[in-house]
């Protein structure tokens, strides 16, 4: 083989090796990013589960607090008594006249 042909073959081989090296580095970087993203997804999913559990507990607490028996027991603890006719004020509904139609312009 001639020296120029050997030189060209060496350059092509080195270029191929460089491309192969760069491809391998890209592959390693891609795998690292993929693993990082999977770990982040798992972390976020665990946080989502925890938040859903917290929300369920809060809904249960709200449901318990809305029960009449719970309200009565908490009122007793606060020193309040049950509602009776002596300590209750009943408000009556009285409609307010409409201001849209002025008086005197009726036909």
The string of pLDDT tens digits covering residues 33-44 is 999 999 999 999
Measure CA 55 to chain center: 11
**57 near 63, Cβ under 8 Å?**
no
Sorted by where each begins, the domain ranges of the chain are: 3-77
Reference 83, options 94, 95, 96, 68; nearest CA is: 68
8-29 pLDDT per residue, tens = 999 999 999 999 999 999 999 9
Verdict on whether the full-model pTM lies above 0.85: no
Q: How far apart are the first and last CA of the chain?
A: 118
30, pLDDT greater than 90: yes
Residue that the structure tokens 């209750």 belong to: 88
Model pLDDT for residues 62-99, shown as the tens digit of each residue: 999 999 899 889 989 999 888 888 888 989 998 888 76
């Amino acid at each position: 083989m001639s020296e120029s042909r050997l030189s060209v073959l060496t350059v092509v081989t080195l270029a191929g090796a460089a491309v192969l090296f760069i491809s391998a580095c890209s592959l390693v970087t891609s795998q690292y990013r993929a693993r990082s993203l999977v770990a982040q997804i798992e972390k976020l999913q665990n946080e989502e589960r925890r938040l859903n559990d917290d929300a369920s507990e809060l809904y249960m607490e709200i449901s318990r607090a809305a029960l009449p028996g719970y309200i009565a027991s908490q009122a007793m603890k606060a020193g309040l008594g049950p509602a009776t006719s002596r300590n209750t004020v009943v408000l009556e509904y009285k409609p307010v006249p409409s201001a849209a139609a002025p008086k005197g312009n009726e036909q």
